[in-house]
Amino acid sequence: MYFKDFNMQSIVATDNQRLFIIKLSVMLEHLCPPLIAEDKVKIAQETDRNGEYLKVSLPHKIKVDFDLWAAVYDIEVIVFFGDAHQHFYEDEWILDAVSFISKILQGKLEIHTFYKGNKQVKVEMYFINKNREMELISSCTYLNFPLFNPFLKEREEVVKISFFS
């Protein structure tokens, strides 16, 4: 099991949460991403307004901004990365979430952040395939004053998250 300190019996978890941990563990053992800070990897029980969940933390060794973590509820997984997050809750949601994390770890995700002045106005996330084609994952526009100001110049920052050198 990739998660050395995680004991399936010591934590109260649903069958879906356990299945997610197992699938994630198998994927991590297969990939062995060298830039995961293994000594800081954690699984902990947390509670928020939506109920109890397992928080799975996969910290980056070099860039704290690349830290990746997931909130694993009984019927949903929310993957947090950079300033963004993605929800998984329908059909093959456990496998989809693990696949999504795998793509992030392998450097296939680009986050395009758009600013007007110093205010963030839009974030677009893309998966990049072998042919450098971009597949839009999600887009979010922030309704704030700079968005509507035609005199402010827009700039774009592109970040590619990877757990491989």
Coil, strand or helix at 9: coil
**Listed residue (98, 104, 99) closest to 82, CA to CA:** 104
The domain ranges of the chain are 15-105, 109-161
pLDDT digits (tens, 9 = 90+) for 50-94: 899 999 999 999 999 999 999 999 999 999 987 788 999 999 999
Q: Which amino acid is at 117?
A: G
pLDDT digits (tens, 9 = 90+) for 78-136: 999 877 889 999 999 999 999 999 999 999 999 999 999 889 999 999 999 989 999 99
Decide: pTM greater than 0.85.
Answer: yes
Coil, strand or helix at 73: coil
- In angstroms, the CA 74 to CA 12 distance is 11
pLDDT digits (tens, 9 = 90+) for 20-33: 999 999 999 999 99
Name the band, by pLDDT with cuts 50, 70 and 90, for residue 165: confident
